[in-house]
Amino acid sequence: MKHMYDGLYQKFIASSRVNTLSKMAHLYLVILAGGEGTRLFPYSNPGRPKQLCPIGGNNPRTNTFIKRTIANYINCGFNRERIMVITSNDYQTRLIKRQITGPGGIPLDNIWEIPSSFGYSGTMVETTKRITEFDSEAIILNTPSDHILTPDYKFIEAVFTAVINAEKGYVSAIGVKTNNLDTVMACGNIIYDQEKLNNGITISKDFIEKPGITRARELIKNDISVCNTGICAWRADALLEYAPKNTKDLTTERLMRAFNGYLRIVVGEFQWQDCGTLRGLYSALDKMPHTQNVVLGEGKINLDNSCKRSLFYADKGLSLNVSDTSDCAIIFTKVHNQPVLLISHLDESQKIKELAEDYSRHEKILIDDFSLGARNNRVLYSNMYYEYSVGFVNVEDYIVHIVRRSNYGDIEAEIFKKKSTSTK
């Protein structure tokens, strides 16, 4: 009975918070959606920025990063007329407009371009300047678009706390507690003052950007830090007063230190996962029972029981037939209509970034030159008019057989280890 009343009370509080936020006439949501996503290549690529990548689910309103982000905050009480989406170039802008404008979407004029040279924090400041041109009383909540979170009452409470403190003139950064070592190492971490923690909010003592494994373990053990989610709230006039005047290449650490005593840390308890890497994406998404695989995309994917703890993606018109794979990502997609196949260990985000940069320069993956950390892999072709770009990152002994089943049929990639038997 107590749990039932607890649940009702939580729903009541959440409803009250949403109602308050929905009535704040000067409250804006800024979604930063200008990243290139090179550590997710080729799942994210020049033809499909990461914020537009599919993340599963049957609801067309929440099946990409940007759509789900917008839906989460509308459910918190934000007015879609005051949701601003920031891109970094014209191509991103055109792609995003196709996904999130129109009936039930956000206004076309709310999609702005700010060059990537400003960086994440610099873009926050530049966007604030633009908003103050038409609303000098603006209160802004800023969020990235490449994470996945649980939009429950704990999330609503964290957002509400950040906004209310921003209204008082503080800059409020939302962090989350986690024991996931990979997440701690992949994020900026805020060390907060435990003694001054009151009603979920405190002050910061230090900021550590992407710690190494030893430092990350210390942070988890000491339990006085949170992962920086990138979700921040501020009153526009206060931010412009504290922030450095030169915003080009402004780092998060430098911006936070500029706030001095005006920075407040909201210690969130909701579920949150950064998806800037393939490991992060895998960790955040629903998995198949027993095998713990994640399967995405509109293409056909056939896996045998030897495939475990891996991420698989295939575009429409492309097929995967895989065996003997564990702790890997296998991505079969198209980059500007050219098929690209990647087989990588899940934890090789930096090497995947290098592979993406190589592809950008050469417009193909050269197996001998760019097989980063890979050994003894082989690609075969049947009934193909040209070779595809295939990349291997820190994997070995794979055979990839790419075949066109008919002149107008799907392209299939059969993938297995040399010591195994093909599933065909």
What is the CATH number for 257? Answer: 3.90.550.10
Torsion of CA 177, 183, 187, 190, to 10 degrees: 20
Pair 259, 138 in one domain: yes
CA distance 117 to 339: 30
E runs forming strands in 269-327 = 272-274, 294-296, 300-303, 311-314, 318-322
Quote the pLDDT of residue 371: 53
What is the extent of the structural domain holding 160? 2-278
Copy the structure tokens of residue 164: 């209310």
Pair 248, 324 in one domain: no
- List, for residues 124-177, the tens digit of each pLDDT value: 889 999 999 999 999 999 999 989 999 999 999 999 999 999 999 999 999 999
Whether residue 304 lies inside any domain: the answer is yes
Copy the structure tokens of residue 362: 């050469």
Residue where a domain stops, chosen among 278, 309, 334: 278
Pair 355, 235 in one domain: no
Pair 88, 180 in one domain: yes
CA distance 284 to 83: 25
Is pLDDT larger for residue 368 or for residue 305?
Answer: 305
Pair 124, 265 in one domain: yes
Quote the pLDDT of residue 336: 80
Judged against a pLDDT cut of 60, whether residue 360 lies above it is answered with: yes
Judged against a pLDDT cut of 60, whether residue 100 lies above it is answered with: yes
Asked if residues 232 and 173 have their Cβ atoms less than 8 Å apart, the reply is: yes
Is pLDDT larger for residue 67 or for residue 59?
Answer: 67
Pair 242, 309 in one domain: no
Quote the pLDDT of residue 46: 81
Residue where a domain stops, chosen among 248, 278, 308: 278
Give pTM, 2 decimals: 0.88
Quote the pLDDT of residue 369: 41
Pair 305, 249 in one domain: no
How far from 281 is each of 31, 232, 246, CA to CA, in Å?
A: 19, 22, 34
Whether residue 424 lies inside any domain: the answer is no
Judged against a pLDDT cut of 50, whether residue 107 lies above it is answered with: yes
% the chain with pLDDT above 90: 45
Torsion of CA 156, 233, 146, 326, to 10 degrees: -70
Judged against a pLDDT cut of 70, whether residue 368 lies above it is answered with: no
Whether residue 423 lies inside any domain: the answer is no
Pair 18, 109 in one domain: yes
Pair 266, 356 in one domain: no
Judged against a pLDDT cut of 80, whether residue 79 lies above it is answered with: yes
Copy the structure tokens of residue 105: 């979407």
Task: Give the rounded distance of the alpha carbon of 354 from its chain centre.
Answer: 19
Judged against a pLDDT cut of 90, whether residue 292 lies above it is answered with: yes
Pair 348, 228 in one domain: no
CA distance 123 to 243: 12
Pair 268, 312 in one domain: no
Quote the pLDDT of residue 314: 95
Residue where a domain stops, chosen among 226, 246, 278: 278
Whether residue 422 lies inside any domain: the answer is no
Quote the pLDDT of residue 365: 60
Pair 113, 220 in one domain: yes
Quote the pLDDT of residue 410: 78
- List, for residues 182-221, the tens digit of each pLDDT value: 788 888 899 988 888 888 899 988 888 888 889 999 999 9
Q: Domain total for the chain? A: 2
Whether residue 186 lies inside any domain: the answer is yes
CA distance 329 to 39: 12
Confidence of residue 270 (pLDDT cuts 50, 70, 90): very high
13-22, 162-171, 381-390: least confident range: 381-390
Quote the pLDDT of residue 34: 83
